């Protein structure tokens, strides 16, 4: 991943002081979205921020209608969060160098917590193929990424 490319998305054109051509920025952003670092970041943010967001949504609905059954809302929110997080983490290919390097760029303890939360959710739902994939990622982090 080229950090300069990311920051260059926000540069101004030296010739006329206007922002870069919007089309070029869109293309660069789409390219960045395809990188392992972006995909891991999406997984991590969904899991770590999703629980907090879910609690806020439940609290909001409880205030708006105290008689509303919140069990279903909470479960639906959890399902959406973990399913979407899975979309990003399932793309990890530990045999590829770019994935290994991207994983190493995240704080290992925090990332392992996110992976373990995901494993726990999928174990409860008996989705063991997903657990196996996540466990491989967890093992890689614990063996290769310094704490």
For the question of whether the overall pTM of this predicted structure is more than 0.85, the answer is: no
Q: What are phi and psi of 46, to 5 degrees?
A: -60, -45
Q: Which pLDDT score, from 0 to 100, does residue 7 have?
A: 61
Q: What is the DSSP string of 52-86?
A: HHHHHHHHHHHHH-TTS-HHHHHHHHHHHHHHHHH
| pLDDT tens digits, one per residue of 95-145 | 999 999 999 988 888 899 999 999 999 999 999 999 999 999 999 999 987
Rounded-to-integer distance, Cα 123 and Cα 126, Å: 5
Query: Tokens in use for 32?
Result: 């960045």
Residue 63 has pLDDT above 50, yes or no: yes
Block residue for tokens 């925090």: 110
Question: Which one, of 127, 106, 132, lies nearest residue 47 by Cα?
Answer: 106
Q: What is the chain's length? A: 147
Of the ranges 26-30, 86-90, 139-143, which one carries the lowest mean pLDDT score? 26-30
């Amino acid at each position: 991943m080229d950090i300069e490319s990311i920051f260059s998305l926000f540069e101004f054109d030296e010739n006329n002081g206007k922002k870069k051509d919007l089309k070029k920025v869109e293309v660069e952003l789409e390219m960045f979205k395809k990188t392992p670092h972006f995909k891991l970041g999406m997984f991590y943010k969904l899991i770590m921020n999703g629980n907090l967001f879910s609690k806020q949504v439940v609290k909001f609905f409880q205030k708006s209608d105290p008689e509303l059954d919140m069990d279903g809302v909470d479960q639906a929110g959890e399902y959406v969060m973990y399913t979407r997080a899975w979309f990003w983490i399932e793309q990890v290919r530990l045999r590829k160098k770019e994935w290994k390097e991207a994983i190493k760029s995240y704080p290992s303890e925090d990332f392992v917590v996110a992976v373990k939360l995901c494993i726990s959710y999928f174990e409860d739902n008996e989705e063991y193929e997903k657990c196996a994939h996540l466990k491989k990622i967890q093992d890689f982090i614990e063996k290769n990424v310094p704490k």
